Chain A
Amino acid sequence: MRDAPGTRDYDWWLLAILAAICALGVLEIYSATHGSSLAGMHMKQLRWLAVGTILMFVLSRVDYHLIMDQWLILYLVCIAALIAVLLLGNSRFGAKRWIPLMGQMFQVSELAKLIIIIVLARFFTEVRSDKLDLRDLIKAGLLVGVPLVLILKQPDLGTALVLVPLLFVGAFLAGLQWQHMAAIVLVGAMLVGAVFYPPVSRKILKPYQRERITSFLHPEEDAKGSGYQLLQSKIAVGSGGFWGKGFGNGSQNQLGYIPVRYSDFIMAALAEEQGFKGVLVALGLYMALLLRLVQNAQRAKDRAGMFLVMGVAATLGFHILVNVAMVIGAMPVTGIPLPLMSYGGSATLFVFMAIGLVMNVRLRRFVN
């Protein structure tokens, strides 16, 4: 194992895509907040991006095999941190998700996602067969299940849900058998059905979660709650038209009708001001990002690297899908940010560290 791959080996295309998306995000954060009490938020985001970039390069230098070897410690740290945040964490917006670290509030579940990616990659690598049998599938399920339940307890349904496609994609690539897949899809469909079926959802969901489901199904009944948010988001997107209203000219954005327009709903702000052409660019960049990740997975030196990269791809892909679908009113409000564009420290750091793992794999593709 050679320890110092050259800078040439970095995926510069990936970095360029990353930079472009971040630039779009910073611009839109500026547009959404410059006229309000939140002015200056884009500078904070730039700072997070800088820190993220450093972390990304640091993480890319440490051989991922070494990191994966520490899976048990990482997993235990992850569980401990999730328990700690439940016991000691700070509440914001009615949920315990944050712990203070170096003067900043960090969202523990973001770290948990990163660790689960590593732990799952390690687990599936160990399955040395083309077919994933039921016992391994259940084991993997348990590995994911414990942190998932802890995150649900915070409560943070959105982040908890992210772990599901992560598990599913890993299992799929590890040789998930078709009958198991069919069973999972069936169970998933039943779960979704249960969530949208009031008599059952009353038992399994928190009131605020049920409210979100209700307002998603009947936005007009809940005008100031999340139904209002979805409606205002759709109005922003729709009124943007093909060409958009122009940078800084979106009334939905500038007058504050779009909820958390600098974060979860930043895509609505972009869609309003830049129109469909802007959306095309943004979603094109995201597609390029994801495809580039898959390409990196395809060219990985080993299964371990492939699982790592695809874990990152699954996580980011799910984030993008759920967030953007929410912005156009096709999914309920879940509180999942749009990677690299939404304002947020923990989330940004998570993405950069995840990309750091991808770089890590790429740098070592020819090494053996």
Chain B
Amino acid sequence: MSFSFGSDNRLPQQRLAVASYIIVGMIGVLLLGFWKLQVIDSDQYGQMAERNRVRSIPIIAPRGRMLDRDGRVLVDNRPSFSVLLLRDDPALVEKSLAPVADGLGLSVDDLRDQLDATKALPKFQPIVIKPEATPADVAFIESHRADLPVLEMLSVSRRRYMPGGFMGHASGYVGEVSEQQIEASNGKLRPGDVVGKAGLERQYNDILMGTDGMRRVIVNSIGKEVDHLTQQDPIPGKQIQLTIDYDLQVVAEQSLGTRPGAVVAIDPRSGEILAMVSRPTPDPNDFAVRISKEEWKQLNEDELRPLFNRAIQAQLAPGSVFKIVTATAMLEDHNPPESFATYCPGYGTFYGRQFKCWVASSKKGPTSHGTLTLHDAILKSCDVFFYTAGMKLGIDRLSYYGDKFGIGHKTGIDLPSEESGLMPSEPWVERVFHRKWYAGETISVAIGQGAVTTTPVQLARLIGGIASGGVFKQPHLRKDLQNVGEERVPLSEPTVEKITEAMYGVVNEPGGTGTALKIKDVELSGKSGTAQVIGYNTRAKFGKQKRFDDNGWFVGYAPRRNPEIVVAVLVQEGGGLHGGETAGPVARDIVKAYYDKKMKKMQGEVTADNSKPPAPSPTPAAALVPRTAVVKEEESAGHTAPVRNQR
């Protein structure tokens, strides 16, 4: 079929004109749209385009190393990869959470927590979601560059400590900065930063920590780097040299072994710490990468408290080591006079109550000391002598000297969280317990029991200071520490002579409590101590559980006057042995290692005497074993019982 096209040629000109107007109007409206975007809001979109293409990737500054006194590396860094989450695009991040968590073996909830915690940070700053990427993680990220552009890898340097917790308590460890630290840092620290959390890492964080750099790169729409703009180089942290002597530290670590306790070796001439050990110890390498909540909980709840640096934090009764304080007080005050002698029948009666001497419960040998003077009383650690001397001195004088020698004060060691110990006194009980001082308490304090507590580092400083004639140097770990503190307590020359003579005798004279520790050609001196953790009555109640064992102390030094090295050793839970037996050999090993090294240095070669320190020989006579007196439970009721590690 066909129809005639020519029959009607009237065109709707009016309506065609309307079409023209509509076209002009349409183009005009579109142009207005462009004007709005390109002229009015241009700046805003320009910034968005810039944010699109430019990505800032931090370059982590390596932390400074820690060297020992001879320049040997103790704490170092190792290279590693961290997984970053780019948060520029919140919706994309939200979408990617599940696949990211799945691919990297993380939990979505954890990721969300981290995102919430970093909300305040600028969006262009990525956050670390997995600090230590495994090879599988690296492969996952590389293969999902296109569909998971929110992931990025960051090359970082991670802390490397010596294995097995070597020097772990002194070095401390690093970890992700906490919110409190961020707040306290005045904007210096940002979430995700790695900072020192404990020990030297924390103490010297400002020195060790560098300033992170920033790399600005251009990325395409699938997150691939196509060009780089500027680079702000990281400023590496500065290294610090420690006073630690690696050789002595090794000996200290090995000699203490796995027993709970602590070792502090100090050069009392300078206050430099030559070795510091605390057991048990976690491996700080475990903290170098983010530690899981469970592991952290476990470490904190462990009964042996591995996170606790016993060398500076364990506040324990010093036991017989304190007798040096009592003896010094007696000689300085001439009360009782130097010639004072007392008879020890194995106990003494004071204020109507009987106090035992340790010798009475000695299983071998005599059960009394007989008549002795100060020198022998120190050698044999006779309790009755010091009960009597303490009673004559009174608590005021005892606490005066204890306080002078630093008990109850922090030593000022350059480590965080040091404890101060406690020197009880009359004002103290009045302030804390609102009661009068019981005279019987003085008897206990005189032999280092009762409320008096000290830390290992305090005892090392105390014994070293007295042997140095009353010069107490601030213990410290950083070699070039400025303004090392010093305290002088004027002691008369005869006093120092007599005290050091007696401590020399402890190791080198027959009848001393440390004769098994004697070293050929070395004037090893010292004082042992065995402090009860609890009274005998309480012990009876709980049975002979391990955690109520005694604390064995030995503070040794050499030479006998103006010592070069003083070693305080604490061995907890010594299994019925006394301090001279448990802690003594550790001190002996370290002093011996010190002299061996000194000889080597002087001769330029190994000396002939390379024999291993003999194992502590079986105690030949009961006389060697000092056991501190028993303070009866009811009497010590008013004391702060020296329950360990109350913090």
List chain A positions with a Cβ less than 8 A from chain B.
65, 69, 125-126, 128, 130, 169, 172-175, 220-224, 228, 232, 234-242, 251-252, 255-257, 271, 275-276, 279-280, 283-284, 286-287, 290-291, 294, 297-298, 300-304, 306, 310, 313, 317, 320-321, 324-325, 328-330, 368
Contacts and interface: CB of A to CB of B under 8 A. Distances in A.
Nearest to A259: B221
B615 interface: no
B37 A238 contact: yes
A303 B39 contact: no
Contact of B91 (A222, A241, A304): A222
A331 B214 CA distance: 40
22 contacts: A222-B91, A223-B90, A224-B91, A228-B92, A236-B49, A237-B38, A238-B37, A238-B45, A242-B42, A251-B50, A252-B53, A257-B221, A271-B38, A276-B38, A284-B27, A287-B23, A291-B24, A310-B16, A328-B33, A328-B37, A329-B37, A330-B33
A304 B5 CA distance: 7
B494 to A, nearest CB: 85
A252 B3 CA distance: 56
B545 interface: no
Contacts of B23: 287, 290-291, 294, 313, 317
Contacts of B7: 128
B42 A172 contact: no
A272 B581 CA distance: 85
Contacts of B37: 234, 237-238, 271, 328-329
B23 to A, nearest CB: 5
A130 B38 CA distance: 45
B484 interface: no
A251 B11 contact: no
The 3 lowest CB-CB distance pairs between A and B, nearest first, are: A238-B45, A223-B91, A239-B49
B35 interface: yes
A302 B9 CA distance: 5
Interface string B88-112: 0111100100000000000000000
Contacts of A224: 91-92, 95
Contacts of B5: 65, 125, 302, 304
A221 B91 contact: yes
A265 to B, nearest CB: 12
B16 A294 contact: yes
Given A238-B38, A276-B34, A328-B30, A298 B16 contact: yes
Interface string B36-55: 11110110111011101100
B42 A306 contact: no
B19 A313 contact: yes
B20 interface: yes
B220 A234 contact: no
Contacts of B30: 283, 321, 324-325, 328
Contacts of A317: 23, 26
Nearest to A321: B26
Contacts of B27: 283-284, 286-287, 290
A276 B24 contact: no
Residue in B13, B37, B219, B226 whose Cβ sees the most chain A Cβ within 10 Å: B37
A237 B49 CA distance: 10
A33 to B, nearest CB: 14
B609 interface: no
Nearest to B31: A283
Given A238-B45, A287-B23, A298-B11, 4 more contacts: A125-B5, A279-B34, A291-B23, A328-B34
A239 B45 contact: yes
Contacts of A256: 220-222
Given A255-B53, A291-B24, A240 B38 contact: yes
A252 B20 contact: no
B15 interface: yes
B33 A239 contact: no
Contacts of A286: 27
Nearest to A36: B220
Nearest to A250: B49
Given A242-B39, A283-B31, A255 B218 contact: yes
Contacts of A275: 38
Given A238-B38, A240-B38, A287-B24, A298 B13 contact: yes
Contacts of B44: 238
